[in-house]
Amino acid sequence: AQSVTQPDIHITVSEGASLELRCNYSYGATPYLFWYVQSPGQGLQLLLKYFSGDTLVQGIKGFEAEFKRSQSSFNLRKPSVHWSDAAEYFCALWVTGNNRKLIWGLGTSLAVNP
């Protein structure tokens, strides 16, 4: 069965510290993976996506993610967090075929201490 797991429900980091948000997936075919961010009271915005090729993907707002097939992971990273990065982060997997759709993780809530 297809699934996306985000092991960390809530993470708190200090401003300027590095960040890594974890995402694990289960899927029998080639995964197409996404990270979205949701600021408080807002809709979702795409940070980055992976389809093929280079396993290190660059996104907006200084984020990057690394796809590791052997670990079924697609972790999101940022070298230095800003207070404005406080938000909810969602990892998602696109399931191909006739019933194509996104499978979502439950999200990780990021708090940033000044």
Partner 1 sequence: NAGVTQTPKFQVLKTGQSMTLQCAQDMNHEYMSWYRQDPGMGLRLIHYSVGAGITDQGEVPNGYNVSRSTTEDFPLRLLSAAPSQTSVYFCASSSGSLLGTDTQYFGPGTRLTVL
Residues near partner 1 (CB under 8 A): 9, 32, 34, 36, 42-46, 49, 51, 90, 94-97, 99-102, 104-107
Residue (14 or 54) nearer to partner 1, CB:
54
Residue (10 or 79) nearer to partner 1, CB:
10
Q: Nearest to residue 40, comparing CAs of 85, 92, 93, 100? A: 85
CB of 17 to partner 1, least distance (A): 26
Q: How far apart are CA 111 and CA 114, in angstroms?
A: 10
**C-beta of residue 34 within 8 angstroms of C-beta of residue 94:** yes
Q: How far apart are CA 36 and CA 88, in angstroms?
A: 8
Residue (9 or 114) nearer to partner 1, CB:
9
